Amino acid sequence: MKTKTLYLNNEKTAYVKAYLLDMVESVPFGKSRPAILIMPGGGYEYCSDREGEPIAMHYLAEGYNAFVLYYTCNKKYPAAFTNAAYALYKIRARAEEFGINKDKIAVWGASAGAHLAGCLATMWNDSGILNALGCEPQDIRPNAAILSYPVISGITSPHQGSFNVLLGENPSSSAVSRLSLENRVTPRTPPCFVWCTANDDCVSAHNSLVFAKACVSNKVPCELHMFDEGPHGLSDCSKNTGWNEYFYNDNCKQWIKMSIKFLEKYMDI
């Protein structure tokens, strides 16, 4: 395996760490692997290490090349979204170099990182972003999205901290509505896998529910799993990422294999 760092701005404050498996001639996608772009959470205030490389390792084990995005934090919208869109654009443009299939790139995000991944899934045809990057809509449209205990809505049970960073403390109702992703789902949104816990006391499960409802209303393939209990920020639910025994959750850990099966189905892997 090789690693590379791709800087997204001159200040080198936003970058992608790429984890690239060696070529294997004898396996079906050894020379053209599926890929996943990973966006850690952190309330748009920081990028959690617990939701970066540890997540990449699980998808690497399944034959994906993985890319962890460390995006601009503590800046208003669209700073982080611009980073995410540019990262996906560059990864797809360099698909041959990275040994990936440009038509099999999923995004993964946790908490506020899942809001960022959800922005890519629902706002890939945003004219402002496209004009800023000088690219076409298909360049930044993911082929699927995995959203872990996501921040979705500024209207329904919002995670106020995330929206305060994105929009300031007294945003207009139209700005809040624009970044409430349940309002941005269309029939062209890629397939989405969503999971959360019912008793999450940081980011309410209502966020996952309103997003899944919007997918159903727009006939977007969507798989939703709500586990009965578990704290916010479960990551991969293991001792490798957990702060204490409440994070070592074998029940919730099922999300990993479930998400891989989902991607196999909807990205034709």
For the chain, list the domains and their CATH numbers.
2-266 (3.40.50.1820)
> How does pLDDT run across 43-99, given as a tens digit for each residue?
999 999 999 999 999 999 999 999 999 999 999 999 999 999 999 999 999 999 999
> How does pLDDT run across 123-167, given as a tens digit for each residue?
999 999 999 999 999 999 999 999 999 999 999 999 999 999 999
Answer for the pair 81, 114: CB distance below 8 angstroms, yes or no: no
What mean pLDDT comes out for the span 256-269?
Answer: 96
> In the prediction, which pLDDT does 269 show?
79
The pLDDT-based confidence of 180 (bands split at 50, 70, 90) is very high
The overall average pLDDT reported for the chain is: 96
The pLDDT-based confidence of 169 (bands split at 50, 70, 90) is confident
Half-sphere exposure of 241 (CA within 13 A, CB side): 23
Q: Which H helix or E strand runs over 19?
A: strand 15-20
Taking the whole predicted model, whether its pTM rises above 0.85 is answered as yes
Percent of the chain with pLDDT over 90: 92
